[in-house]
Structure 1
Amino acid sequence: EPQMAINLPKVNTLLPENFAIKQNDAFDKPQVVIEDDGIQVWQYPSQLYSDQPRGVFNIQINNAAPLESAKANVLTALWRDLYNMNISALDTEANIAGMNISLSDSTGLTLTVSGFTDKQPQLLERAINNLSFTVEQQAFKQAVDRYIRELNNKGQQFPIYQSFDAYGQLIREGGFNQDELVETAGSVSAEDLSNYMNTMLSNNAIRIFAFGNYDEAGLNESVKRIKDSLPKNREVTDFEQAQFWEPQPEQSIVLRRDLEVADVALVDAHIHPQPGFESLAAGTVLQSHFRTVAFDTLRTEEQLAYAVGAFAPSLDQYAGFGLYIQTPVKNVADMQERFDSFKQEYWEDLQGMTEEEFNQLKQSTLITLNETPKNLNEEVSPLLADLRLQRFEFDSKEQLIKAVEGVTLENAKAFYQETLLNPDAARISVQLRGTKFADEPYADLPNQTVISDLAEFQQEMKKQ
């Protein structure tokens, strides 16, 4: 009779067996516990979920090349894409065992392993060993196709999404014009990626943030596994992060693009001249009221838009205030004019605001800011944000809460005058012109610098 071959599933070696909670001395904030050969480890136990045998282990393999060259930028994205394809089986095995792996690209690569901590060192070792692989022609070609298709699809997105994407690229290093990225992706080879992977794994600085159920012995073991899997000839480089534009009074930076879709999108932000949490607090409290009034006036009453709103952006140390819209009704210049008159109308509203109304806004802002994180990922996220901004006190969230507690209606009015009503405030303007308005004018701002090449602008811009 025929013999049936039975394939049993491989044994999952990542299932946790030990759920013990690791013992640590008291930490009042995250601190560096290991400095070893260009590998720096920050540790912090969870303050809210210290009874859970879980952790978030975040590894930044830092290299500044993707900020400086379109080619490196494209190759890093292709690397991330192919890596994620390659580890799908490992990812599934990890998920079944209550863990996750993710790889993102920015200034180099960031690998995050999270979930139960018992078998994390083993998962980590496999995740890191997978970072270098043989780049196969066919797979490479498919990754390039996916990358170019994704970039081109962005052009079909709602203009409002495209405008915020452009805004994000404008304010911080590492932005490149889309056509440059598409052209670069079309010209790189599998061999380029192999060489780049080798160069980057051999030249980097590594910063790890271990949040949750870890102790020094376990962290030392993980560092050893990471070191063993890196090239023997590794050189340690300086740790570099993408720098933000430093707002200058009497400077408006303007990005203009023609779209492949019909509507116009506009983002108009004024930046407060004083860095610090006081101005951020004022903007944070006012933002919901400003948004409601903008929505009621520009959308409900005047029917100018489907998507309209207000936001209080922060650019590292600086805070701003602004409006955004996607409109099928007005061209860029006319919409900008309507924004400018709306800024004056809102000022009338703000002058009529009572202390009681302001305090309600303030209380609801504080409720949101003081909400208890629902899990480890939510708890670690403000700490990782501080780490990315090199704020090693790790207290930005507390500082903002303290500043919001102290903010008064007078402060809020002064903030508004120094941003949206200040003709000398630094400004950021994204003007996207839909096909329906292709023959109609863009908006001119006072003191404007119109940016044609993102990468060139970012090399020359003043940075914080």
Structure 2
Amino acid sequence: MTTSLALENAQFITLENGLKVMLCPQPDGEASYVSMAVRAGHFYDPENCHGLAHLLEHMLFMGSRHLPAPNAINSLMEKHGGTLNAWTGTEYANYHFHCNGEALPAVLPAFADMLRRPLLNKQAIENEIQSIDAEFQFKRKDDLRRLYQVHKETCNPHHPFSKFSVGTAALFQQHHIDELHSMLQLYHRQYYCAANMALCIITPQPPEEVLPAVERAFNPLPAGQLAANDWPDLYTRDQLGIEINIRPLQEARRMIVTFAMPGLHNDFQTKPLNYISHLLGDEGEGSLLAALKARNWVTNLIAGSGIEGDDFKDFNVSFQLTKAGLAHKGEILRALFGCLALVKESVGSAWRFQEKAQLTALAQQYDESARPLSVACDYAHHLFLYSPEEIVQLHCTIDSYDETLLQQALSYFVPDRLRVKVIAPEVITDKQCAYYDAEYRVTPLSPALLDDLAKSRPVQDIALPGPNPYLADDYHLVLPEEGKDTPHAVADEPGMCIWYAQDHQFHSPKGDIYLSFEIPAFADPLAAVAAKRIWIGALNDYLQSRYYRAEIAGLHYRIYGHQAGLTLHTRGFTNQQMLLAEQLIDAILTYRLSERAFENSKSMQQQALQNSLLNKPTNRLFSRLSVLVQRNTQAPAELLNAVNACTFSEMECLREAAFSEYFVEGFMHGNWGSEQARELTELVRNRCPNATGDAISRAVSQLPVGRTLYHQVPSEHSDAAVVLYLQSPSASLPDSAMCMVLEQMLAAPFFNALRTEQQLGYVVGTGYVPHNQHPGVAFYVQSPTHGPEQLLSAMTEFLYQQLKEIDFYRYYWPTIKQNLLKQLDERDMSLAMKSQRLWVSLGTKDLEFNRNVRLAECINNITFEAIQDFAARLADRTLYGELVLYAHGKFSGLDTPPEDTITDIAEFKRSSPYFS
């Protein structure tokens, strides 16, 4: 984690009761961010009630002494422009929120009351048990959860990591509600105390106002004691040097090589594991990954991830395997240990470490990705591990080279500390894990293999990277040019339009270049879209090793498909970015893949599309919604058939036809001068002679008003799910504004009614859903206990009742309006975010680049009488188009009128009218 927050003014206070507080003043900020870490994660669950910590987390939202109504604190946060959330991890639970900056003193007492005096109402406990059980059922077919449970069952049963963290109705209901209530009270009393909690606040409010508010809110916390964390070793001796076979639900083949070690990730001065993962995870030419890809054994490699705690760490090297790679697991392990031998030999080469430190410092200095609330959560956790002096140094110190410490870290990368997980449909298994039913088998790695690995020497075709050629000595700002901070066209001619704007806001030596190739031959028919996917996948694979050094030096790129063709996006430091863009344009226009590359990419696309069919029901429904509403979006199931049918010769022909005519739209924004914008224009002119076509319309189907269309989506999941989508009559600003008002007004009541009160499912919500800028509202529920008929009935009954009784919201309208205006008034938080916003504006032809401002004006001028009229017309079904998508899971489907039922997607899209 990195952050650009200035910490030189951070204050560290310990309250009279022992609560540690870190206050980070941010005078230029607009919002306050607060996180309370509690050493009360699932490691502290009682042995006879796994999941109790998770249940208590839920219960803290169900009312406290001063805000007794369930979720009342969420409503309070929303009133003050914020949101509140929480999570329960291994050693820690965390409660965090953001709000309007000046609202902090007003909401802190409620936050403290939530943590200190929860009501723990028995009926609410029973309701939240059902919510947790729905959450558990929702994840039962999640391969990551299944893998995690196998991990728990193959570690030391005396270590608390082995506990089941989620909880289920069956587990909780082993206890009478009175007993469970007492257990929650005891757990809360023992762990939710000042000595066992730590608070971080990032706020624009002056410390002299915040500190008294913190003291008033949190001094009443009982002092208590810090919870012990003296666990045994995570693994016993016979749980190392093993292979764990796991059969996944998805079509996936992976090998995760784990090295068990103490908490070396907490060494913030040398960061030895960061250095080791930098070398093992290298993707450039000559790397471990490149060598294994050349043998067609591996398609991807990630080094350094893995579970971690205050005093333990799993260092994972995860390989995405091909079918051939699965048969060569031993050779892959030998290659890994050969690469490790190189790393161990190079420890004395200080320049490698120093280059990595320079790359890290550069990334931190110009980091644009840090989210203040995540930063607050990190610092609250850090208060348990580091002194105030160390915390200030955490993210501002250049990593210090220490050869002895690096050698000590590398001493854990030995066969004796090895655990190898092999995840593939073909593996042999002999048992099932609890709760998720994942099939697995544990066997010792052969002594001969372990002996081979211990004797490994560097491999001939693997080498450590040389000095990074993309690492510049100077990152400077170009001279500002008056009037160039708003996008304007530097070229607008047949086949091409290039836009340019200089950044005058963030003063960063970074920038973005977007180039969209709109290619009719790649947008339709289905066979062409399938060929495009295969070709882009092969192209990205081809480029990966060639430009990896650029990536880690802060020069990034993406080449991705979209409805009308494909886009090249380069971003990062402007030094050498134009050269990178030029090379990538040439690659796009000239790359010819081999038959082997075609087969590899085709296999990857088949796997990805096949796995997408196993997504959660709500995800499947929203994906299908986009397919039905957007003319040039295809369903994964249909695309899979087209990919299966695609041949190498067909793909070559389609690719050749595709680049015979296209339209290019480009945008350059950031630390660039006008001369560079002209260079980009000339570059596109010279490199893209076939840019002679027209832009492609992003048409949206027009749903009928006054009747409902229905569409069933197949799903492998046992849960039922329903999405009710209401399509606005136009994409005008007033209709968009009213659509946003409707969603904002009904979001909290919908969640409260269908999830908290009716307990229909864990996944319940609403969303403002624009397709190609055409607005709509979606209401969705996924349920393990109710079928689609009951879900749809509950949804429509709620909607009809709320629309007929819209006057109830008159009192709330000023607050709803204020929250919407704040959302629309949010500033660009980074140069990259601003570039993206301007690029989207160009795509939607918002050439005033102020759509949010105009939407805010519309919302500000809406009267409640206009909302009443809108609600009446919506309730009478004379305004919005309606579409219901559903997956029936283990329940019966909907009985829908044949004339209103979409069974053939292609026919629906052919016959549907489209908004112009």
TM-score, structure 1 normalization: 0.89
CA distance in 1, matches of 2:553, 2:708: 52
Distance in structure 1 (CA, Å) of the matches to 2:858 and 2:795 = 29
Note if contact 2:712-2:885 (Cα within 8 Å) is conserved in structure 1.
yes
**Displacement, 1:17?**
4.1
Letter of the structure 2 residue corresponding to residue 371 of structure 1: E
The letter for the 1-side match of 2:578 is P
1:461 aligns with 2:912: yes
1:218-367 to 2 correspondences below 5 Å: 218-230=676-688, 234=690, 236-273=692-729, 275-316=731-772, 318-347=774-803, 350-355=806-811, 357-367=812-822
Question: Counterparts of 1:314 and 1:417 in 2: how far apart (Å)?
Answer: 23
Distance 1:122 1:424, change over 3 A: closer
Correspondence for 2:66 = none
CA distance in 1, matches of 2:791, 2:470: 60
Q: C-alpha distance in 2, partners of 1:274/1:414?
A: 17
Contact 2:630–2:701 under 8 Å retained in 1: yes
Q: Distance in 2 between matches of 1:342 and 1:138?
A: 55
Matched residue SS, 2:775: strand
Runs of 5+ unmatched residues, structure 2: 1-459
- After superposition, the C-alpha distances for 1:213-264 in whole angstroms (9 at most, x for unaligned) are 223321222233334444x5x2511111321123443354332223221111
Show the counterpart of 1:117. 574
Q: What secondary structure is seen at the aligned counterpart in 2 of 1:214?
A: coil
Q: Deviations over 1:359-397 (max 9, x none)?
A: 111112222221221111211233222222233333322
**3-state SS of paired residue (2:909):** helix
1:378 aligns with one of 830, 833, 858? 833
Whose relative contact order is higher, 1 or 2, with alpha carbons under 8 Å and at least 6 apart?
Answer: 1
Structure 2 residue identity aligned to 1:133: Y
| Contact 1:350-1:413 within 8 A present in 2 as well | yes
Residue 432 (1) aligns with residue 887 (2): yes
SS of the residue corresponding to residue 836 of structure 2 reads helix
Q: Which of the residues 17, 26, 30 maps onto 2:487?
A: 30
The residue aligned with 2:189 is none
Partner of 2:628: 170
Deviates more, 1:421-430 or 1:127-136: 421-430
Q: Does 1:391 find its partner at 2:840?
A: no
CA displacement at 1:124 relative to structure 2: 0.7
Q: What amino acid maps onto 2:712 in structure 1?
A: R
Measured in 2, the distance between the counterparts of 1:179 and 1:247 equals 23
- Which stretches of structure 1, 4 residues or more, deviate above 6 A after TM superposition? 5-8
Residue identity matched to 1:158? K
Query: Using the alignment, how far apart are the partners of 2:846 and 2:697 within structure 1?
Result: 12
Shift of 1:167: 0.9
| Structure 1 residues 329 and 228: CA distance shift in structure 2, 3 A | same
Q: 1:297 to 1:39 in 2, by over 3 A?
A: same
Q: CA deviation at 1:11?
A: 5.3
Q: Which amino acid aligns with 2:903?
A: S
Question: 1:267: how far off?
Answer: 1.0
**202 and 286 in structure 1: CA distance in 2 versus 1, 3 angstrom threshold:** same
Aligned residue-pair number: 452
Per-residue deviation, 1:47: 4.8
Moved more, 245-254 or 78-87: 245-254
Structure 1 residue aligned with 2:542, among 59, 64, 86?
Answer: 86
Q: Is the 8 A contact 1:57 1:210 kept in 2?
A: yes
Range that drifts further, 376-385 or 221-230: 221-230
Q: Hey, what does 2:13 align to over in structure 1?
A: none
Structure 1 residue 454: deviation in Å? 2.3
Q: Name the amino acid aligned to 1:137.
A: E
Deviation at 1:327, TM superposition (A): 1.5
Larger CA deviation: 56-65 vs 391-400: 391-400
Out of 500, 504, 510, the residue aligned to residue 43 of structure 1 is 500
- Aligned twin of 2:671: 213
Answer whether contact 1:175 1:455 (CA < 8 A) is retained. Answer: no
Deviations along 1:163-194, one digit per CA (max 9) or x if unpaired, are: 11111111111233444322211121223333
1:147 equivalent to 2:578? Answer: no
- Structure (1 or 2) with the larger CA radius of gyration: 2
Query: CA distance change for structure 1 residues 419 and 275 in 2, over 3 Å: closer, same or farther?
Result: farther
3-state SS in 1 of match to 2:662: strand
Q: Distance in 1 between matches of 2:494 and 2:546?
A: 29
Of the three residues 157, 162, 185, the one matched with 2:615 is 157
Shift of 1:275: 4.3
8 Å contact 1:67–1:242 — kept in the other structure?
A: no
Q: Which moved more, 1:312-321 or 1:254-263?
A: 312-321
**1:432-451 per-position Cα deviation (integer Å, ceiling 9, x unaligned):** 221x12xx231537x96322
Partner Cα separation in structure 2 for residue 271 and residue 89 of structure 1: 45
Q: Structure 1 residues 55 and 398, CA, compared in 2 at 3 Å: closer, same or farther?
A: same
* Counterpart code for 1:192: E
For 1:34 and 1:235, how far apart are their aligned partners in 2?
A: 13
User: Does the 8 Å CA contact 2:531/2:654 hold for their aligned counterparts?
Assistant: yes
CA gap 1:100/1:421 in 2 versus in 1, 3 angstroms = farther
Paired position in structure 2 for 1:129: 586
Note closer, same or farther for the CA distance 1:413–1:28 as it changes in structure 2 (3 Å cut): farther
Separation in structure 2 between the aligned mates of residue 196 and residue 19 of structure 1, nearest angstrom: 44
**Is it true that 1:444 corresponds to 2:896 in the alignment?**
yes
* Alignment partners' CA distance in 2, 1:7 and 1:293: 57
Q: What SS class does the counterpart of residue 729 from structure 2 fall into? A: coil
TM-score, length-scaled by structure 2: 0.47
Residues 401 and 90 of structure 1: CA distance in aligned 2, closer, same or farther (over 3 Å): farther
Deviation, 1:22, is 4.2
Deviation of 1:16 after TM superposition, in Å, equals 6.8
Aligned to 2:185: none
Aligned residue number for residue 67 of structure 1: 523
Q: In 2, distance between residues paired with 1:408 and 1:80?
A: 49
Describe the superposition over 1:145-180 as per-residue Cα deviations: whole angstroms up to 9, x where unpaired.
Answer: 111121111221110111111111111112334443
Match of 2:869 in 1: 414
- CA distance 1:269–1:45, change in 2 (3 Å): same
Aligned to 1:58: 514
Matched residue type, 2:541: M
| 1:279 partner amino acid | D
Q: Compared with structure 1, are the counterparts of its residues 316 and 225 closer, same or farther at alpha carbon in structure 2 (3 Å cutoff)?
A: closer
Counterpart for residue 95 of structure 1: 551
Same amino acid, percent of matched pairs: 19
How many angstroms does 1:353 deviate by? Answer: 2.3
> Which residue identity lines up with residue 901 of structure 2 in the other structure?
V
- Matches of 2:901 and 2:719, distance apart in 1: 21
Q: More displaced, 303-312 or 125-134?
A: 125-134
Aligned CA distance change for structure 1 residues 252 and 191 (closer, same or farther; 3 Å)? same
- Residues 1:460 and 1:240: Cα distance change in structure 2 (over 3 Å): same
Q: Describe the shift of the 1:346–1:10 C-alpha distance in structure 2 as closer, same or farther (beyond 3 A).
A: same
What secondary structure sits across from 1:430 in the alignment? Answer: strand
Structure 1 pair 52/302, CA: closer, same or farther in 2 (3 Å)? same
- Tell me if structure 2 keeps the 8 A contact 1:332–1:443: no
Q: Shift of the alpha carbon at 1:293?
A: 1.0
Aligned residue type for 2:836: S
Aligned residues of 2:703 and 2:883 also touching (Cα < 8 A)? no
Indicate how the Cα distance of structure 1 residues 120 and 235 shifts in structure 2: closer, same or farther if over 3 A, else same. closer
| Structure 2: distance between partners of 1:161 and 1:317 | 20
